[in-house]
Structure 1
Amino acid sequence: MSDTEAEEISDLSNPDVTTKYQAAAGIVNKALQKVLEACVPDADIITLCELGDRIMEEETGKLYNKKDKEGKKMEKGVAFPTCVSVNELVGHFSPMKGESRQLKAGDVAKIDLACHLGGFIAAAAHTVIVGGEKVEDKRADVIMAAWTAAEAALRLVQVGNKNTQVTEVFAKVAKEFKSTPMQGVLSHELKKHIIDGSKTIMCCETTEDKVDEIEFEMNEVYCIDVVMSSGEGKCKPTEIRSTVYKREVEQSYILKTQKARQFISEVNKRFPVLPFSLRAIEDEQVARVGVSEARRHELLVEYPVLHEKPTEIVAQFKFTVLLLPGGTKKITGLPLGDLEKQCATTCAVQDEDLKKLLSSSANPKKSKKKASKEDKEEKKDDKKEDA
């Protein structure tokens, strides 16, 4: 295979693509772990977000630095800025200076981030109880609901299965833990430079909100996003400033003010297709002024800060999977760790089908050598019988 042909194959049938996904996954897991460890009482959320982004930028900066034949370096870096959303906040909280918050003991914080190498994206999210205290209330129930649903999804996102099976199991798990899957949350297929592919899995299906049924296929990549609520599972945009955006590539418009043009020029150059935080724009004033005009002319897709009812708790786990010939491989996401001891839930899985699914292997391996040895023995027996 020539270099040109290899470059054209941008799915997992190209070993180089698989390597990039796995390398990006290692960076995401490292950044996620570091931010998780820094989620202590009185920690400033903006500092946590900056930490996650910095690690992803530094670590991706160490890899793939050779220029191609055209003299260009590979695009790489943050694919989704670090967000730390607490308690009833569902997601996308990545504040600018002067708009941050501090963590408190007992807070349920969701850390969400992603990076890419050459457009191949690895994403992950994890939930933490700030301060490490043991909880016996709905915080424990909703966290274990989200974790158990994520474990079930991992076993269902297999070649030949359908997205509807995953959505159905989310509802089953939620019921067992007195929780609700969050409406409006989608898991997406990942493709080169595309963080929100057209193939999706719903976290919660309603009569008004449905997606097309799809079958999982070999060499696909998915970001599985599991979000559970202790309440009704309905989220709304808050009045908190949105700071996460993505360039709407199909829209173009020559903006009027100099700062707005400077802003969109920087976005086009540094973040042409993937989400970014306004914190990443070099001049904060340019970011604040430019984003307003760019939004008015629909040059940006907005990721609003979403929330449940103030009295409710939201938990999230997100991971990236590769659908390989040897089976589905989970490449991002952290183990449950201390959360298992902290979450003293009285709920447990009672459904027999669900128990069977969760007890099955998440990473089935084919024993080719053993099979071939057995085949040889069978052939020997056949020859003896023939003789």
Structure 2
Amino acid sequence: MSSSESGDDLDVKKALGEEEEDADYTLANADVSTKYQEAAKIANAALDVVLSKIAVGKTPLELSRAGDEVIEEKCKKIFTKKVKGRTIEKGVAFPTCVSINECVCHNSPLASEAQEPVKEGDLVKVDLGVHIDGFVSVVAHTVRVGPAPTAEEPIKGPVADVFLAALTASEVAIKLIKPGNSNKQVTEAMARVAEAFGVNAMQGTLMHQMKRYIIDGNKVIILREDVDQKVDDVVFEQGEIYSVDVAFSSGEGKPREATSRTTVFKRAVDVSYRLKMKASRYVFNEMNHRFPTLPFTLRALEDEKQARMGVVECLKHDLLHPYPVLMERPGDIVVHFKATILLLPSGTAKVTGLPYSTVGFVSDKELPEDIKAILATSSKTSQKKKKKKKDKAAMDVTAT
């Protein structure tokens, strides 16, 4: 075991049945960077398709299926050649979830479950992820159903405040997540944005470092720090990959688990147990074969009835990590955005996330000067500064 290898890396290797090797899975490897960016292109494309299908009368099930289908179809067409006799795995890294209004996240219903269709004025949140050879890109987006707001007919009031807070927070976080900065700086800035717009950041939301086959690495940024919810201080380093996950609410920002069925799970790679029920063994075998490390939805399993029965014993013995559907209070406005960023030598590269115009949103709130200053900074590394440092180093060497 190398000293640089974390526990999550080793647990994943064990789950995948991979032996120790010296392969370079960092962004210094051009092939790795390409896979992250190709996964990002597919994630953006799938998100675009789902957004184009959102309309009055559409159901979360239809929209969730559409996202997963695009991911699977597009992944089939790339990296088709075997490498060292091994087929490159690719596909869904986080199942498409469609959460409406006060539903915060993780709503990915089964075919047997009826849910209310989309209505005019609904806020629809879409969340999904893609991987190529285990290199994950995730994305989330929120839209309001109906005519797009314009400068002439803008959205005002609490809806505008929550939207602008989430969009601003996402941009601020991307500016701050760079080598040398800390997660504490990001969390403090998120609190400043929430305060400025008079809204609340969603409790329990974490931005994770991502690695190969790891969607929720050990380095995290907490969106909202509370007395009972804190994380260890970390410093960002070049070559790291992060999901920038922001969710804001007009309510308390303290989501509760919904009464609806949890359908999204991830295997607990460090836990084993000899299951008794046939249905449980079916779920576990399918999971091991198709989703050994990344989240999946029960909808992806062929036998839904078996899946619903079998997941109970798996959960009882901690073989699965559940992603429960989370809810704010009825009537609360919830907006969610997520992007994937790569910390490259040239600066921070945002590889997922669709453009969002704020022209049609009007708020009477004012950002504090320190947040404005962060927004005014560049995400790119100054080549001029780098050259000066190199020149100075050369001079120092000559002087000695």
TM-score normalised by the chain length of structure 2 = 0.87
Within-5 A mapping of 1:128-147? 128-132=143-147, 134=149, 135-147=155-167
Q: Which residue of 2 aligns with 1:56?
A: 71
Q: Deviations for 1:64-87, whole angstroms, at most 9, x for unmatched residues?
A: 121232x33111100000011111
C-alpha separation in 2, matches of 1:307 and 1:133? 26
Distance 1:16 1:6, change over 3 A: farther
Say which SS state the counterpart of residue 8 (structure 1) adopts.
coil
1:81 is matched by which residue type in structure 2? P
Matched, 1:34 2:49: yes
State whether residues 189 and 197 of structure 1, in contact with CA within 8 Å, keep that contact through their aligned partners in structure 2: yes
Q: Which residue of 2 aligns with 1:118?
A: 133
Q: Equivalent of 2:192, from 172, 176, 191? A: 172
- In the alignment, structure 2 segments of 5+ residues that lack a partner are 1-18, 150-154, 396-400
| CA-CA distance at 1:36 after TM superposition | 1.3
Matched, 1:189 2:204: no
State whether residues 94 and 128 of structure 2, in contact with CA within 8 Å, keep that contact through their aligned partners in structure 1: yes
Distance 1:362 1:348, change over 3 A: farther
State whether residues 108 and 139 of structure 1, in contact with CA within 8 Å, keep that contact through their aligned partners in structure 2: no
| CA-CA distance at 1:348 after TM superposition | 3.1
Say which SS state the counterpart of residue 239 (structure 1) adopts.
coil
2:364 is matched by which residue type in structure 1? T
Q: Equivalent of 1:86, from 73, 93, 100? A: 100
Distance 1:84 1:214, change over 3 A: same
Within-5 A mapping of 1:224-235? 224-235=244-255
Q: Deviations for 1:256-295, whole angstroms, at most 9, x for unmatched residues?
A: 2222212211111000000001110011112111111211
C-alpha separation in 1, matches of 2:163 and 2:366? 12
When structure 1 is superposed on structure 2, of 119-128 and 134-143 the one drifting more is 134-143
Q: Which residue of 2 aligns with 1:321?
A: 341
| CA-CA distance at 1:345 after TM superposition | 2.5
Q: Which residue of 2 aligns with 1:258?
A: 278
Within-5 A mapping of 1:236-251? 236-251=256-271
TM-score normalised by the chain length of structure 1 = 0.90
Q: Deviations for 1:185-232, whole angstroms, at most 9, x for unmatched residues?
A: 000000010000000000000111110110000101001101111111
Q: Deviations for 1:10-56, whole angstroms, at most 9, x for unmatched residues?
A: 11111111110011001101111111121122111111101111111
Q: Which residue of 2 aligns with 1:345?
A: 363
Q: Which residue of 2 aligns with 1:11?
A: 26
C-alpha separation in 2, matches of 1:309 and 1:296? 29
Matched, 1:359 2:376: yes
- In the alignment, structure 1 segments of 5+ residues that lack a partner are 380-387
State whether residues 345 and 381 of structure 2, in contact with CA within 8 Å, keep that contact through their aligned partners in structure 1: no
Figure out how many residues of one structure are paired with residues of the other and give that number: 366
| CA-CA distance at 1:5 after TM superposition | 12
State whether residues 146 and 317 of structure 1, in contact with CA within 8 Å, keep that contact through their aligned partners in structure 2: yes
C-alpha separation in 2, matches of 1:5 and 1:241? 39
Q: Equivalent of 1:22, from 37, 42, 61? A: 37
C-alpha separation in 1, matches of 2:37 and 2:200? 32
1:86 is matched by which residue type in structure 2? I
C-alpha separation in 1, matches of 2:80 and 2:164? 41
Say which SS state the counterpart of residue 203 (structure 2) adopts.
coil
C-alpha separation in 2, matches of 1:336 and 1:6? 42
Say which SS state the counterpart of residue 321 (structure 2) adopts.
strand
2:201 is matched by which residue type in structure 1? P
| CA-CA distance at 1:140 after TM superposition | 1.2
State whether residues 132 and 342 of structure 1, in contact with CA within 8 Å, keep that contact through their aligned partners in structure 2: no
Percent identity for Structure 1 against Structure 2: 47
Q: Which residue of 2 aligns with 1:305?
A: 325
State whether residues 106 and 133 of structure 1, in contact with CA within 8 Å, keep that contact through their aligned partners in structure 2: no
State whether residues 347 and 379 of structure 2, in contact with CA within 8 Å, keep that contact through their aligned partners in structure 1: no
Q: Deviations for 1:325-355, whole angstroms, at most 9, x for unmatched residues?
A: 1111111111113xx2442323232x11111
CA root-mean-square deviation: 2.0
